[in-house]
């Protein structure tokens, strides 16, 4: 395989209007925000990566502002001019910067794309080369859809019906205190057989255990991150009290976290967001931890643009990703997206991985520019 040498890196802070915003227990973002990374090699190959930071530090302590600070000041000087034999070399190059996983992920993702393009292979194949034999990419990912907090159960059921009609066979509902047991009961009455899960985004404490136990009667696939965003210990106390598997999202920042949470019994399922764990190299380590522990794994999302979704979809096509992923079709998020062609859901709740080298989709310069203009018009003071 060919090495690449990183020549230049351009940062594009963008805002895109959402087709349907996602209200969670910590709030709602008015726009999709991201910093798109455009990396050029000395051989003239362009790689794209997405830093999918939000505006408000609600899900993560990282924001558009922190990424706009740490990338040019600290991360880019560590990679520009460097020759990279494998994208898995990137974490060591940038290890002197602590934290800032989303910023690091976007940068590493741009290297994965450029490296895969320089070598004429798709990202799924590039990822699989770091896995044990037999972990051959499937060419598609099985997906579901994440539905935000709505004004009523009726309104929620209407969105669920629309998503089922589009082909989604796994529905995830966001919950918060006061929007939980009655919501689950109402939705289950209307849809007794769907694959249903809930995501609390850290809205509860151990004092809510009795309420959370009531959710066991609704046949849920899992409950995602019920307790504090930085907790493993109290989830360890909660999981044995529930029949419903706990899935950890926010709390898992590394392969070591995933191993600890699974071995302690703090959760039974891992939501792997490559952005949250700092890149695809660490994601591959988490994948191997889950395979070794026979733990179900799925790929979560940050409402990524087509840049981030293309590479997440490639990762989600690996066979150790055993549960439906939060990677929906383009029309669930943006009209238009910054990439072409759009991702389309098939009737069996799968999305094919883009064919072609690297991320496999084209980034349209004029759409990126429009996104930059909207960002500048709305949030000039944040980046």
Catalytic residues: 174, 273
Distance CA 113, CA 67 (A): 20
Residue closer to ligand OSB by CB (options 45, 109) is 109
The secondary element (H helix, E strand) that includes residue 367 is helix 365-378
Contacts to ligand OSB from residues 272-301, by CB under 6 A: 300-301
Report 248-277 residues binding Mg ion (CB under 5 A).
Answer: 249
- Mask 200-239, x = binds Mg ion (CB under 5 A)? ------------------------x---------------
For 219-278, the DSSP string reads --S-EE--S-TT-SHHHHHHGGG-SSPEEESTT--SHHHHHHHHHHTS-SEEEE-HHHHT
Q: Are 363 and 127 in contact (CB under 8 A)?
A: no
CB of 129 to ligand OSB, least distance (A): 26
Which residue, judged by CB position, is nearest to ligand OSB in the bound state?
301
Q: Which of 113, 180, 199, 282 binds Mg ion (CB under 5 A)?
A: 199
Hunting for tokens 């929620």 — which residue is that?
Answer: 156
CB-CB contact of 183 with 154 (8 Å) = no
Q: Binding pattern to ligand OSB, positions 9-48, x when CB under 6 A? A: -------------x--------------------------
Q: Which is nearer to ligand OSB, 103 or 302 (CB)?
A: 302
Q: How far is the CB of 333 from ligand OSB (least distance, A)?
A: 7
Tell me how far, at minimum, the Cβ of 346 lies from ligand OSB, in Å: 17
Handedness of CA 326, 331, 333, 336 (dihedral sign): positive
What's the rounded Cα separation, in Å, for the pair 56 and 61?
Answer: 8
Q: Which residues have a Cβ under 8 Å from the Cβ of 294 and sit 6 or more positions away?
A: none
# chain residues binding ligand OSB, by CB under 6 A: 12
345 binds, among ligand OSB, Mg ion, none (CB under 5 to 8 A by kind): none
Nearest CA among 161, 171, 168 for reference residue 346: 168
Residue 146's binding partner, choosing from ligand OSB, Mg ion, none, with beta-carbon cut-off 5 to 8 A by kind?
ligand OSB
Q: How far is the CB of 52 from ligand OSB (least distance, A)?
A: 8
Tokens of 254: 């590394």
Residue number, 249 or 282, with CB nearest to Mg ion: 249
DSSP, collapsed to helix, strand or coil, labels residue 37 as strand
Tell me the per-residue interface mask from 102 to 141 with ligand OSB, x by CB under 6 A, - otherwise: ----------------------------------------
| Cα Rg of the chain, angstroms | 20
Stretch that binds Mg ion, among 114-122, 159-167, 191-199, 307-315 (CB under 5 A): 191-199
Q: Is residue 59 within the footprint of ligand OSB (CB under 6 A)?
A: yes
Residues 318-377 that bind ligand OSB (CB under 6 A): 326, 328
| 3-state DSSP assignment of residue 284 | helix
What's 303-319 look like in SS3?
CCCHHHHHHHHHHHCCC
Q: In the structure encoding, which two tokens stand for residue 282, read together?
A: 């660490």
302: partner contacted, choices ligand OSB, Mg ion, none (Cβ within 5-8 A by kind): ligand OSB
Give the per-residue contact string, 163-182, with ligand OSB (x = CB under 6 A; - = no): --------------------
Of positions 70, 111, 299, 303, contacts ligand OSB by CB under 6 A = 303
CA nearest neighbour of 341 among 361, 356, 359 = 361
Give CA–CA dist 257/260, Å, rounded: 5
Which neighbouring-strand residues pair with 40? 8, 46
Binding site for Mg ion (CB under 5 A): 199, 224, 249
Residues near ligand OSB (CB under 6 A) are: 22, 59, 146, 199, 201, 249, 300-303, 326, 328
């Amino acid at each position: 395989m060919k090495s690449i040498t990183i020549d230049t890196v351009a940062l594009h802070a963008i805002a895109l209007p959402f087709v349907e915003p996602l209200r969670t227990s910590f709030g709602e973002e008015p726009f999709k925000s991201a910093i798109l990374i455009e990396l050029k090699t000395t051989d003239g190959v362009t790689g794209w990566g997405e830093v999918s930071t939000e505006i408000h530090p609600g899900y993560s302590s990282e924001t558009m502002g922190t990424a706009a600070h740490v990338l040019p000041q600290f991360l880019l000087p560590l990679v520009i001019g460097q020759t990279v034999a494998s994208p898995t070399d990137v974490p060591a190059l940038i290890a002197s910067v602590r934290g800032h996983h989303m910023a690091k992920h976007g940068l590493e993702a741009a290297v994965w794309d450029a490296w895969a393009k320089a070598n004429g292979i798709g990202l799924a194949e590039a990822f699989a080369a770091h896995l044990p034999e037999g972990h051959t990419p499937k060419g598609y990912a099985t997906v579901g859809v994440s539905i935000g907090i709505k004004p009523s159960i009726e309104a929620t059921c209407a969105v669920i019906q629309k998503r089922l009609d589009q082909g989604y066979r796994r529905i995830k509902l966001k919950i918060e205190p006061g929007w939980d047991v009655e919501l689950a009961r109402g939705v289950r009455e209307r849809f007794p057989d769907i694959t249903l899960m809930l995501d609390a985004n850290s809205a509860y404490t151990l004092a809510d255990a009795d309420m959370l136990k009531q959710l066991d009667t609704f046949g849920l696939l899992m409950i995602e991150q019920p307790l504090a965003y930085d907790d493993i210990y109290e989830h360890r106390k909660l999981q044995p009290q529930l029949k419903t598997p706990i899935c950890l999202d926010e709390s898992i920042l590394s392969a070591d976290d995933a191993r600890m949470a699974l071995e302690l019994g703090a959760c039974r399922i891992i939501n792997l967001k490559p952005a949250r764990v700092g890149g695809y190299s660490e994601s591959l380590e988490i994948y191997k931890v889950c395979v070794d522990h026979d733990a179900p794994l799925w790929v979560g999302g940050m409402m990524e643009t087509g840049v981030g979704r293309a590479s997440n979809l490639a990762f989600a096509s690996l066979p150790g990703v055993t549960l439906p992923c939060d990677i929906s079709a383009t029309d669930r998020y943006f009209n238009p997206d910054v990439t072409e062609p759009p991702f389309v859901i098939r009737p069996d709740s799968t999305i094919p991985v883009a064919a072609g080298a690297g991320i496999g989709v084209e980034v349209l310069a004029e759409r990126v520019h429009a996104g930059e203009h909207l960002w500048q018009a709305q949030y000039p003071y944040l980046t």
